[in-house]
Structure 1
Amino acid sequence: MSKAKSDKTSPELDTPTDLPRAAVDKLSASLNTLLADAFALYVKTKNFHWHVSGRHFHDYHIMLDEQSDAIFATTDQLAERVRKLGGTTLRSIGQIGKHQTIKDNNEEYVPPREMLRELMEDNKHVAAAMRKAHELADDNKDSGTAGLLETFIDETERRTWFLFEASRQEGGNEA
């Protein structure tokens, strides 16, 4: 069954779907925000990977590199999910900046523990946003999006956990 045409989608990109246009628009908007946040979190994690210092440099450098790779790996799947639904996705750095909810960090120097804590909070924020998007997918009977997000939520929670434990070590106490 073909969906109703929208002013937002070029006829050449009008992917057939059985979801109503309103559902496609809501799901696409939610996924595009997650996509923008994934790019913002990727860049921030890479920034901290490149600029980490201190006694745990090697371990943090490797951990942040692994985490940035995992975050980047979600971007194509999120964007392709939007297209599978019949929506359109982000096209530029400018659009990422307009949609992202993760704050950039442009400081010249950030102490390692602050890096880890900031990334931990950002990952918690992303997991919460993914849960909201999952609810939206469930409400619209979109099991494909829900399933994708379940995997991403688990991966995000794992990053949060690792960052939490590493930041406890860096701080020298159990806080």
Structure 2
Amino acid sequence: MKTNIGISKADTTKVITILSHYLSDSYYLYLKTHNFHWNVTGMHFQNLHKLFDDQYNALFSSLDEIAERIRSLGEFVPGSYMQMKELTCIKESKEIPNDREMLKILLDDHETIVRNLRNWIEEANQASDVGTGDFLTARIEEHEKTAWMLRSHLES
């Protein structure tokens, strides 16, 4: 059945596109953070191993929330690596960087998502989807907090 929630098909399509990009970015960031958790070394191993553990678990939980938001709008969720690779702006890490570089990479990725979310919130609200706007607003706070924690590890 089609949804009848007071948002036009054109606006719903715009919002689904936003959420699909956000899901893909979050998934790629989850994979990268989990990879860094597994492969971190150095003097700060224990602290960073735990930090990355907390962060990838939070990202993993958010994936289901984002996917369920897409489904609540009546569309199917992009679920293949190929689909997500086409939708994400997060770059893969092919090498294993040192611990400090891991922090910088993750910080840059979270800040990229924050910048995108600011635009997407405005676009969702313009599409009369305040539910998605509110959802993305709550998510931006999580990415900002994570960015702050990563940035704090880089300060001397």
Same fold by TM-score greater than 0.5? yes
Is 1:26 aligned to residue 2 of structure 2? no
- Amino acid across the alignment from 1:30: I
Which of residues 114, 117, 129 is equivalent to 1:130? 117
Which of residues 123, 128, 140 is equivalent to 2:127? 140
Q: CA offset at residue 15 of structure 1? A: 3.2
> What residue is the counterpart of 2:76 in the other structure?
88
- Amino acid across the alignment from 1:145: T
Alignment of 1:1-175 (within 5 A): 14-107=2-95, 109-168=96-155, 173=156
Number of residues paired by the alignment? 156
SS at match of 1:22: helix
Q: CA offset at residue 127 of structure 1? A: 0.8
Structure 1: gaps of 5 or more residues? 1-11
- Structure 1 vs Structure 2 CA RMSD: 1.2
- Amino acid across the alignment from 1:79: A
Q: CA offset at residue 100 of structure 1? A: 0.9
Please give the alpha-carbon distance, in whole angstroms, between the structure 1 residues aligned to 2:3 and 2:53: 35
> What residue is the counterpart of 1:8 in the other structure?
none
Q: CA offset at residue 17 of structure 1? A: 2.7
Structure 1 stretches of 4+ with a deviation exceeding 6 A read none
Name which one, 1 or 2, has greater alpha-carbon Rg: 1
Q: Deviations over 1:68-111 (max 9, x none)?
A: 1111111111111112122332121111111111000010x311
Contact kept in structure 2, 1:28 and 1:88, CA below 8 Å:
no
What percent of counterpart residues are identical? 34
Please give the alpha-carbon distance, in whole angstroms, between the structure 1 residues aligned to 2:60 and 2:115: 18
Between 1 and 2, higher relative CO (CA 8 Å, sep ≥ 6) is seen in 2
Q: Deviations over 1:57-78 (max 9, x none)?
A: 0000000010111111111111
Please give the alpha-carbon distance, in whole angstroms, between the structure 2 residues aligned to 1:112 and 1:158: 20
Scaled by the length of structure 1, the TM-score of the pair is 0.85
**Structure 1 stretch 70-79 or stretch 45-54: which is displaced more?**
70-79
**Structure 1 stretch 63-72 or stretch 86-95: which is displaced more?**
86-95
Structure 2: gaps of 5 or more residues? none
